Structure 1
Amino acid sequence: MTANVMVVVERQYDYPRPEVFRAWTAPEEMAQWRGSPGWHVETETVTSDLKLGGRHHHVKVRDNDPTTRVTTDAVFTEYFEPDVFVARQRITGDPGIDPDAPLELRVEFTKTGRNGTLVRIVQGPYDPTVAGYHSKGWELELDRLETYLAGHRNREVPR
């Protein structure tokens, strides 16, 4: 089949845009939450040159089988902190993604209310047979982001 499906996922957070944007882009923060349940990002593999034309790299590893690894290499084609970033990605190790066909990842951060942020992810193109699986993966990762942000806020608030 032809890869022609874009996955679109949105989630509302009760945290300010700069905080949510930083969680997505700062390597030390991203490594804390990225990956669906049962996966983790190897902290030492995360690199990001946070600018237009900058490169990004990370490796996700299956918790119960460390030999199962998915590598993402990307270049930022847009980078406007804290509003949006777009990256052209090559993903290897995921059987549902052709490593020779680049994907585009667009993540938008829209201010809502006083201190809220709407995150909108658009990624693809995917083969229609795997698009739903990757959409669900993003939903699960965004759950982990919520947990990370809640814990991060609790550490920063003086008691």
Structure 2
Amino acid sequence: MTANVMVVVERQFDTPREAVFRAWVEPEELSRWRGSPGWHVEEATAGDRALGGRHHHVKVRDNDSATRVTTDGVYTEYFSPDVFVSRERITGDPGIDPEEPLELRVEFTKYGRNGTLLRIIQGPYDPDVAGWHGEGWEKELTRLAAYLGETSTVGGAR
């Protein structure tokens, strides 16, 4: 089957876009929310947060530390706090060919007075796994919402 399906997911947050953007690109923040339920980020690093900068993270299944999904990416666009695009190689996910890079585009649009409309576009995926990856993003964004809610009330507003 030919990988030709792009997954698109949107979510609104009652959080300023600078804070939402930071949650995506700062390794210590990314490690606190990325991963679907039952997973966590064990390692996250970032090089230059700019065009050509590299980033890396490893998701690990909570009940099986041998099950790991590694993402290695390079920013092909980077405009803080508006958008970043990353060309990524993902290994350890049975639905993704690690030899074929995916593109991840994340857009952060000011929404209302102090909110953010987040839009994720990722692919191309094989048609038979695209829906599963869309559901995975929905679960991760639920975790991001919880993280942003914690950080805006604990330790002061962002």
Read off the aligned partner of 1:21 and give its amino acid letter: F
Distance between the aligned counterparts of 2:26 and 2:115, measured in 1?
A: 20
In structure 1, the residue matched to 2:68 is 69
Deviations 1:36-79 (A, max 9, x none): 0000000xx21112111000100000001110000000000000
In structure 1, the residue matched to 2:95 is 96
TM-score by length of 2: 0.97
Distance between the aligned counterparts of 1:157 and 1:76, measured in 2?
A: 31
Instruction: Please give the root-mean-square deviation of Cα atoms over the aligned residues, in Å.
Output: 0.8
Read off the aligned partner of 1:114 and give its amino acid letter: R
How far off its partner does 1:157 sit?
Answer: 2.3
Distance between the aligned counterparts of 1:48 and 1:157, measured in 2?
A: 26
How far off its partner does 1:23 sit?
Answer: 0.6
* SS of residue matched to 1:2: coil
Distance between the aligned counterparts of 1:129 and 1:138, measured in 2?
A: 16
TM-score by length of 1: 0.97
How far off its partner does 1:156 sit?
Answer: 2.5
How far off its partner does 1:11 sit?
Answer: 0.1
Q: How does 1:102-121 map to 2 (within 5 A)?
A: 102-121=101-120
Distance between the aligned counterparts of 1:47 and 1:14, measured in 2?
A: 27
* SS of residue matched to 1:145: helix
* SS of residue matched to 1:46: strand
Deviations 1:68-114 (A, max 9, x none): 00000000000000000000000000000000000000000000110
Q: How does 1:49-68 map to 2 (within 5 A)?
A: 49=47, 50-68=49-67
In structure 1, the residue matched to 2:18 is 18
Distance between the aligned counterparts of 2:46 and 2:123, measured in 1?
A: 21
* SS of residue matched to 1:156: coil
How far off its partner does 1:155 sit?
Answer: 1.1
Unaligned runs of 5+ in 2: none
Q: How does 1:135-146 map to 2 (within 5 A)?
A: 135-146=134-145
In structure 2, the residue matched to 1:38 is 38
In structure 2, the residue matched to 1:2 is 2
Name the count of aligned residue pairs: 156
